[in-house]
Amino acid sequence: MSSPPESSTGARDAQADRRASALDISTRVDILMRVDMTETLAPIACCAPLAAPGLSEAEAEATAALFRALGDPARVRIVNLIANAGRAVCACDFVLPVGLAQPTVSHHLKKLVEAGLLEREQRGRWAYYSLNPEAAETLRGLADLREGCC
């Protein structure tokens, strides 16, 4: 005796299951994964002032990385907004002033944190950003051209 025929919806479900299992495993994400958002990154590497008598390879690389992080006008505006706020600023407060969508603002904030220019603090659902004091001091000294210029 043969088994009863599968219903058409059952066959479709089985076919969908086979297709889903054939998907690349990298497309499966555990949305409940715990991530430590309190981890702080090391501040930006030491940079020599641009007017210094000479730059080592490491100083030149660190300076270039800093300029890459600030190489987008939106990132410069974000740093400017935080510097003028005088306090930590919620990520949600950048969308209107910068004129970009929230995911794009988050991308720029991530790049600035990775470069060591900003510090990120998680407060419940919201992330607040402030200038890394060491990075701010490095930026002040970096652009000082008075020593050997003109």
Residue 78 domain-assigned (yes or no): yes
Report the b/e string of 73-109 with b at 16+ CB within 10 A: ebbebbbeebeeeeebbebebbeeebebeeeebeebb
Residue 115 domain-assigned (yes or no): yes
- Domain CATH code at residue 93: 1.10.10.10
Total domains, the chain:
1
More confident residue, 112 or 20: 112
Residue 34 domain-assigned (yes or no): no
Range of the domain at 102: 41-142
Residue 128 domain-assigned (yes or no): yes
**In the structure encoding, which two tokens stand for residue 19, read together?**
């297709």
Cα 42 to Cα 48: distance, rounded to the nearest angstrom: 18
Question: What would the pLDDT profile of 41-56 be if each residue is shown by its tens digit?
Answer: 444 445 555 666 777 8
Given this model, what pLDDT does residue 150 score?
52
Residue 84 domain-assigned (yes or no): yes
